[in-house]
């Protein structure tokens, strides 16, 4: 009477959910980490460390790039579920 | 009675159901960013309602699952049966809400419809395979999947932002608050892709049953528009509840953890909507909040609380099915039965609305299921505080 579970569907939901969440959270967390590094460098720079000034800029730029990527990953995920936007996924 | 009147009545009731769904679930998406101060309550509610509106347009997989997948041949169905199922769902939903019992409006809807169809045409009329694959199995697995994703994501976020040994700088985890503005909007969007669809599915089902639409494989544009607008309106009206309860149950949820939970919830619901899984979005969000609570160091499950939450989930579908079957028996008895069913439903709606307005708002009637679920996990800090309090009272006794 009970039909067997369609594991393919459930695994694809599980896979998409886990990979998707980890990707977004990874990008965002590393962004946060770089932002903290930037603050750290800024504190050093204010003490007259010239090298730290460059490190601050690099870290800050990196963190913004990662936030943007994280946002991009979310948008890509949304586009995946709309029919016919990305043809390879049915 | 004329078919067209019954179809009209079902459309109105389905939209009412849609409204209460949005009203009820605003908190699911927006309680955390308000509690952590990432968004002002008014802004959060407005954003949630716009995102719900947008989400309703993204896909119709869940709607066609209900209009095609639940019943073997919808054209043989009488519109009265859909009416009976819907009133059963609404009655069960409002009564449990009033009594403060945990429930899922989505499962009440499925239960009501399944019960009504089974009572009218026997179990053979129900597409059991589709119901198992698209409703029952996802109901069992999706909260676990969301919980696992949230657990992993929380551990990842905490590992990446952990203090390195040689500096004493802040971890910066409060910055996750800003990410929460986006992640909670995403939850609201995913809510629109799954919950607004349920209303579209029911309306399409009754249009097919009433002979106004050939088959349920597509959803009319006006149905999409109506369901999307009404769920957005309901979400907007639900805002006052959040303002009253904010921070009460969710104070323990930290920004990084909240972000991980919300991303996991949204990812699970969006992936499920794509495949036409009709989920209880509340159950998925509860799974995530529990998973993320366990992902923080020292989180422990309060098993009795977890049991209470799960028990409410298990009961909803069969209980609503019984109510749906009873109202079907009433409706099939003749036009008088249909009128009685309609009067009872509208009466209960008005009575509960009046009572809930007159009485002071109690915590149980306004707290969200997500808050309940967040209490399932006891954090290390809470345990320490409890131990301290116990030691203190022990000393006092001596």
pLDDT at B250 over 60: no
What number is the average pLDDT over the span B122-133? Answer: 89
Q: Determine which of A8, A11, A18 to mutate to test the interface with B (most B C-beta atoms within 10 Å).
A: A18
Least confident range from B29-38, B190-199, B285-294, B320-329: namely: B29-38
Q: Mutate one of A28, A38, A76, A83 to test the B interface: name it (highest B CB count within 10 A).
A: A28
Q: Residue B308 class from Cβ within 10 Å (0-12 exposed, 13-18 middle, 19+ buried)?
A: middle
- What token pair was written down for B131? 């119901």
pLDDT value of position B378 = 78
pLDDT at B374: 74
Sign of CA dihedral B390, B304, B290, B99: negative
**Lowest-pLDDT range of B99-113, B131-145, B240-254:** B240-254
pLDDT of residue B80: 92
Q: What is the pLDDT of residue B296?
A: 86
Rg (CA), chain A: 20
Contact B274 A39 (CB under 8 A): no
The nearest alpha carbon in chain B to A67 belongs to B179
Could you give the count of Cα atoms lying within 13 Å of A90 in the half-sphere of its Cβ?
A: 1
Comparing A69-83, B19-33, B101-115, B183-197, which segment has the lowest mean pLDDT?
B19-33
Is the confidence at residue A5, as pLDDT, over 80? Answer: yes
- The SS3 of residue B62 is helix
Supply the mean pLDDT for chain B: 84
Read off the pLDDT of each residue in B194-211 and give the average, rounded to a whole number: 93
Residue A52 lies in a domain: yes
* pLDDT reading at B201 higher than 60: yes
Judged by CB atoms closer than 8 Å, whether chains meet at A28 and B176 is answered as yes
Residue B374 lies in a domain: no
pLDDT at B156: 95
Average pLDDT, chain A: 87
The pLDDT of residue B225 is 95
pLDDT digits (tens, 9 = 90+) for B108-117: 999 999 999 9
Q: How many CA atoms lie within 13 A of B391 on its CB side?
A: 6
CA angle, corner B372, sides to A32 and A24, nearest 5? 25
**pLDDT at residue B158, as a whole number:** 92
Exposed / middle / buried, residue A12 (Cβ in 10 Å: 0-12, 13-18, 19+): middle
pLDDT attached to residue A86: 66
B160–A29 CB contact, under 8 Å: yes
Using a 10 angstrom Cβ sphere, with 0-12 exposed, 13-18 middle and 19 or more buried, the burial of residue B172 is buried
Residue B247: is it exposed, middle or buried by C-beta count within 10 angstroms (0-12/13-18/19+)?
A: middle
Beta-carbon separation of A13 and B142 below 8 A: yes
Distances (CA, A) of B216 to A50, B130, B182, B187: 68, 15, 35, 28
Chain A hits for B173, Cβ within 8 Å: 32
For the residues B323-340, what does the mean pLDDT come to? 91
Contact B271 A81 (CB under 8 A): yes
| pLDDT(B245) > 60 | no
Number of domains in chain A: 1
Q: For residue A72, tell me if it sits in a domain.
A: yes
- Mean pLDDT, residues B307-330 taken together: 88
Query: Which position has the higher pLDDT, B33 or A73?
Result: A73
Nearest-Cα distance to chain B for A3, in Å, is: 6
From the list B208, B247, B203, B176, the residue with the least C-alpha distance to B32 is B247
The long-range contacts involving A50-53, CB below 8 angstroms and separated by at least 24 positions, are: none
Q: Which residue of A has its CA nearest to B124?
A: A1
Among B56-70, B192-206, B210-224, B246-260, name the one with the lowest average pLDDT. Answer: B246-260
Calpha distance B365→B240 (Å, rounded): 13
Q: How confident is the model at residue B359 (pLDDT cuts 50, 70, 90)?
A: low
Provide, as residue numbers in chain A, all residues whose Cβ is less than 8 Å from the Cβ of B145.
Answer: 10, 13-14, 17-18
Distance CA B8, CA B4 (A): 6
Contact call for B160 and A32, based on CB within 8 A: yes
Q: What does DSSP assign to residue B58?
A: T
* DSSP state letters, B296-316: STT-EE-HHHHHHHHHHHHHH
A57: its two tokens:
């800029």
Interface membership of B123 toward A (CB under 8 Å): no
d(CA B398, CA B389): 15
Given this model, what pLDDT does residue B188 score? 92
Q: What part of B 51-80 touches A (C-beta under 8 Å)?
A: 58-59, 61
Total structural domains in chain B?
1
Tell whether B152 lies on the interface with A, counting CB pairs under 8 A.
yes
Residue B167 pLDDT level (bands cut at 50, 70, 90): low
Domain assignment present for residue B30? The answer is yes
CB atoms within 10 A of CB B164: 12
Give the number of residues written for chain B: 398
The reported pTM is 0.87
Residue B378 has phi, psi (to 5 degrees) of: -100, 120
Contact residues, chain A, for B274 at CB < 8 Å: 80-81
- Selecting from B156, B182, B259 the residue whose C-beta is nearest the C-beta of A22 gives B156
pLDDT at B314 (0 to 100): 84
- pLDDT classification of B247: cutoffs 50, 70, 90: very low
Q: Which residue of A has its CA nearest to B270?
A: A81
**pLDDT above 90: percentage of residues in chain B:** 40
Across B65-74, B261-270, B281-290, B300-309, which has the greatest mean pLDDT?
A: B261-270
What is the pLDDT, as a whole number, of residue B324?
A: 94
Give the domain range for residue B64.
3-161+171-357
Contact residues for B90 (Cβ-Cβ < 8 A; gap 6+): B13, B16, B17, B108, B112, B345, B348, B349
**Which residues 79-98 in chain B show a CB within 8 A of chain A?**
none
Query: What's the mean pLDDT in B335-361?
Result: 80
Examine residue A86 and state whether it is found in any structural domain, yes or no. no
| Range of the structural domain that residue A36 is part of | 21-81
DSSP string, B261-280: HHHHHHHHHHHHHHTT----
A51 pLDDT more than 90: no
Pairs from A5-10 (Cβ < 8 Å, separation ≥ 24):
A5/B132, A5/B133, A5/B137, A6/B133, A6/B137, A9/B133, A9/B275, A9/B277, A10/B137, A10/B138, A10/B141, A10/B145
* pLDDT bracket for residue A2 (50, 70, 90): low
Is the CB of A74 less than 8 angstroms away from the CB of B182? yes
User: Is B102 part of any domain?
Assistant: yes
Q: Which residue, among B188, B202, B200, B195, has the nearest Cα to B236 in the 3D structure?
A: B188
* CA nearest neighbour of B177 among B290, B267, B254: B254
Asked if A50 has any chain B CB less than 8 Å from its own CB, the reply is no
Q: Is residue B362 part of a domain?
A: no
């Amino acid at each position: 009477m009970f039909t067997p579970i369609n594991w393919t569907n459930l695994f694809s939901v599980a896979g998409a959910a886990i990979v998707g969440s980890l990707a977004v959270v990874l990008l965002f967390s590393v962004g946060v980490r770089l932002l903290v590094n930037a603050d750290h460098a800024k504190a050093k720079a204010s003490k007259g460390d010239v090298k730290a000034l460059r490190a601050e800029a690099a870290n800050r730029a990196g963190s913004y790039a990662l936030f943007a990527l994280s946002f991009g990953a979310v948008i890509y995920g949304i586009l995946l579920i709309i029919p016919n936007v990305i043809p390879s996924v049915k | 009675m004329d078919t067209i009147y019954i179809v009209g009545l079902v459309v109105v009731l389905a939209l009412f159901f849609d409204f209460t769904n949005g009203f009820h679930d605003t908190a699911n998406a927006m309680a955390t960013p308000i509690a952590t101060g990432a968004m002002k309550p008014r802004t959060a509610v407005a954003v949630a309602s716009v995102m719900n509106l947008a989400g309703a347009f993204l896909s119709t997989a869940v709607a066609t699952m209900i209009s095609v997948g639940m019943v073997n041949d919808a054209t043989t169905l009488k519109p009265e049966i859909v009416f009976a199922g819907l009133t059963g769902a609404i009655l069960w939903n409002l009564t449990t809400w009033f009594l403060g019992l945990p429930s899922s409006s989505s499962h009440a809807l499925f239960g009501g419809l399944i019960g009504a169809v089974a009572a009218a045409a026997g179990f053979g009329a129900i597409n059991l395979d589709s119901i198992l694959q698209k409703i029952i199995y996802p109901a069992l697995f999706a909260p676990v999947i969301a919980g696992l994703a949230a657990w992993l994501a929380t551990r990842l976020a905490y590992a990446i932002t952990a203090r390195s040994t040689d500096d004493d700088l802040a971890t910066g985890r409060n910055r996750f608050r800003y990410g929460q503005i986006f992640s909670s909007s995403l939850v609201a969007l995913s809510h629109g892709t799954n919950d607004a669809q349920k209303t579209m599915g029911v309306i399409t089902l009754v249009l097919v049953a009433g002979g106004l639409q050939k088959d349920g494989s597509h959803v009319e544009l006006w149905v999409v528009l109506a369901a999307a607008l009404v769920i957005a309106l309901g979400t907007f009206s639900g805002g006052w509840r959040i303002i009253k309860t904010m921070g009460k149950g969710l104070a323990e949820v930290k920004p990084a953890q909240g972000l991980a939970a919300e991303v996991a919830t949204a990812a699970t619901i969006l992936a499920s909507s794509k495949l036409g899984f009709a989920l209880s979005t509340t159950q998925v969000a509860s799974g995530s909040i529990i998973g993320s609570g366990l992902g923080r160091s020292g989180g422990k499950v309060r098993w009795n609380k977890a049991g209470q939450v799960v028990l409410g989930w298990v009961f909803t579908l069969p209980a609503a099915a019984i109510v749906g079957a009873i109202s079907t028996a009433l409706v099939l008895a003749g036009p008088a039965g249909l009128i009685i069913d309609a009067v009872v439903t509208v009466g209960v709606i008005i009575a509960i609305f009046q009572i809930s307005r007159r009485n002071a708002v109690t915590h149980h009637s306004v707290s969200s299921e997500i808050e309940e679920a967040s209490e399932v996990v006891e954090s290390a800090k809470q345990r320490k505080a409890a131990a301290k309090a116990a030691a203190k009272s022990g000393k006092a006794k001596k």
